Copies of this chain bind each other. A is one copy, B any other.
């Protein structure tokens, strides 16, 4: 019975890696579409959201199926509940990549990025992509050193988020409320993306150490 559960656990892990890979490619394309006002690429990200959603739902069903068939013990149940939470966070990260792509599409053929913030948003995007990459590695290898790397990237992201507000609240954008709205929302989406990556990393840490910090 124990061996069957271990096998099920590996199946859950593989599915999480698969969804995380799609999220990684989604945030990569969303960042690129946002940076270059590429509306075709933005549409692609928006259309791709359904696949992530479908895979997350299928993983939830698998988890319920495992719980029903294998009557796991309490510690295994915590793992399954963790898997449900991780799949919810990955789905939400996919939504946020879509929101970033939508901003690019709404403003097309204009750029959604206010002047003076192009570099900052390029860096935020790169940080989100790196976090998604690290997340794929973490879910695949369960290497705990990746957890602190994800946390460090999130700290950098939070700094940039604060910087966006500084710039936006300076008077340089005062004549362009659209730019202020876009920058506010885009920065918030990037920041939330990072928060979800950290949440997932915390669940892996819980899995590895037996406790959430």
Contact = CB atoms under 8 A, between A and B. Distances in A.
Contacts of A68: 73-74, 77
Oligomeric state, in copies = 2
A174 B184 CA distance: 15
Contacts of A88: 85, 88
Contacts of A169: 177-178, 181
A4 B88 CA distance: 30
Interface stretch (A23-31, A59-67, A152-160): A59-67
B181 A177 contact: no
B184 A173 contact: no
Contact of A181 (B60, B165, B175): B165
Interface residues of A, number: 31
A55 interface: no
A180 interface: yes
A171 interface: yes
Contacts of A188: 185, 188
A81 interface: yes
A138 interface: no
Contacts of A63: 81
B84 A81 contact: yes
Interface string A103-142: 0000000000000000000000000000000000000000
A81 B84 CA distance: 8
A173 B165 contact: no
Contacts of A39: none
A71 interface: yes
A150 interface: no
